[in-house]
Structure 1
């Protein structure tokens, strides 16, 4: 007997007949029907559900959408044309990308634990266990907002945080997992410790205008970056002049040899966060120098300039 001959005189099917034609169970048809995804054509005299031919096409579409792992509510919105299939696919791709990134981080973490010395395993497990996979950059951003001087303009804080906080690699190596875990541990602590204290320019009692300073430092770092990429030794020039000028303007001084001498001494005495920048360098593109590397290059250029100024005097005294 053909499938059409089984159809009732009113051209509808029972729930079992629809399930048979669609190749699914009665339970599946009832599930989608109960959730409003599969409208009934009516009820039989005995109160049983009846479905028209359009229900078969709709059921097949529902099954196709579900094979994409779309949640039932989202399938309903697509069927009701509240959402587009394109938006649903884009959302699924984003979610799948997040899952795959988490799996890659977990795999790299497992390799890190497997391949380390037994005496290192507990410490590394503690570091990895303290962060999510893939890790969040929120603790790093909070660290910078605490560490920066207060009352900086929001747009300046946003620029600094964007440049200072590395994004987790999508496909990390075991060493990068360890670097990010150590960054997470470093930035989750109290930033007022001796190795993470505030530079003199952050303290308002020194008369600095931090917003002026950081605006100038961002420009100086941008000028120094090509020198770092070219692996040139620290030297005097536009980048150093911009660097010194940022400090001079921030405290209302002039760029003089005496000011440079005092600035060199101040920067040598300032608290440093070298450990942070070393870890960031492990996570960053080598062709993009970190602000920490640019700052170190400019400090070395300042010291080099100091030596150049004093060399003729030393020779004249010898």
Structure 2
């Protein structure tokens, strides 16, 4: 049978003789013999146990757990699985801290950023619920529109990117802004009036409305690319064609021209709201149509 001295074990494992002696004194590496001079010796099994112990400790497994593995009270696979899950949790925490620190480095707001980053899903949603309670409260809105708006949830990951966390902070500041709330409230009140007048406002998302709006944005983009001024005769012709199509999409021939609709419902911060939601939730980016909207509003006047 092969026997190894502590010095030989140290050379084969890279551990110090002091560490090996500590493990031996703790009963983790049993002594199998003594030299003529009384020095401890260990066998092949002791070497294997020492190598396993070294690996477990390098992976961050605490000594009592490593001792249970050596005693076969728990398997290496079970320890690895449990430890991997613990590391995953630590990584999520570290990534969140990193994102918070990067956001703080950019805007300097330590407490607010840290607080908002740590909110639970329910607490995050409560911020949006409070916003909608104020801007929709007491109004007779189209149920499909109202429910669609309120059903969208903020799904900030446990380990958000810096961009996602920045979008979340900006969203909170936006929905808490009293001027923005007043603007959305005015939109909601106008929504109620137009619904009473017979306009189809089932969320601004009926197929006809979506198609008409996308068509208008496309015409505006083409005009911008061609250098057509919004105050020109050509722009007025484009606006007239767009308005006719828009009125048909709203379901009422006496509905507002698109330019007036944009004045009433075109607060660019509303589009920013959806851009931020998409970024937080990891959705495909929402295009910024603010330039096209401004051209349409000016052309329609």
TM-score when normalising by structure 1: 0.46
